[in-house]
Amino acid sequence: MIVRIIGGATLIIPTRNIPKAQSVSEEIKKSFNSSARVIIYQLDLNDFSSVRACAEKIALEFSRIDILINNAGIVVREFKKSKDGFETHLQTNYLSPFLFTMHLLPSLSRSDHARIINLSSLLHFVGKINFEDLNLEYEQFNVWAAYSQSKLAMTLFGNELARKFEDISVSNIHVYTADPTIVRTKLFDDFFPAEISSLINPLLKNTRQGAGTTIYCATSPQVADETGLYYINCDTTAPSLYASSPSLAMKLWARTIELVGLPNNYLSTIFLI
């Protein structure tokens, strides 16, 4: 989800499910303003070629982007691979958002004050990065391990991107990692059998409550000058020890750049350093 603020706001929804996004667009216009500008783009995070094509289309139409929210996430109970040969949680929840963000950095860099918000999860606290088997192919597949690894990777991505911006003196792009905690969505239902979900669901946040921290990071003037921090319930907190490791974040960044097919000096080509 991308927002460009020029007077009003233009909301861009990159999505795999166009009809569903059109329904959401109508709800937005009905709830807020019939003249609200909502634009929908086709995007399949399971396919790098789709990620690159979508980012290129957006960059052509919008020279400046103010807010990028990497909100997508999936839960798949069985082992599957993407079109590019990666385990689906790894690609959909991490590699493709990484690639999407990299391709939109030129547009973000033209904003006076851009924000990148990456969604993580409480499960990142139990996640580990298995560099010897990122696809989790060599042991019996575990959906919890796959999902928690992808969310730990997203948290490390935010930390490392903020550090790299600081190192190269990019001060107009701020990076936030938002944790919605546990929200009553289909994503949560995919983790558990229906009889268990029905018992737990009343205790969870609804989607409006779950979006609170993301919206806070995207719009609050209170965090305008912050970057590289982890937020739960609209407040900062410490991520896991793994997520706080600069050496692990640097190692993952180097591996990710290679996996998504970008050059090692990619940031220097954008910011001319």
User: Residue 222: which region, alpha, beta or left (left: phi > 0; alpha: psi -120 to 50)?
Assistant: alpha
Count of Cβ atoms closer than 10 Å to residue 108 Cβ: 22
Q: How far apart are CA 147 and CA 124, in angstroms?
A: 8
**Is 147 annotated in the active site?**
yes
What tokens appear for 232 in the block?
Answer: 């739960």
Q: How far apart are CA 155 and CA 38, in angstroms?
A: 28
Catalytic residue among 147, 176, 216, 231: 147
Q: Which of 161, 183, 173 is nearest to 73 (CA)?
A: 183
Laid out side by side, the sheet with 2-6 consists of: 37-42, 8-15, 2-6, 67-70, 114-119, 173-179, 229-232, 235-237
Bridge pairing between strands 8-15 and 114-119: unpaired
- Torsion sign, CA atoms 97, 103, 105, 107: negative
Helix (H), strand (E) at residue 59:
helix 48-61
Residues 6+ apart with CB under 8 A from 167: none
Q: What is the 3-state secondary structure (H, E, C) of 171-231?
A: CCEEEEEEECCCECCHHHHCCCCHHHHHHHHHHCECHHHHCHHHHHHHHCHHHCCCCCEEE
As annotated, the active-site residues are 147
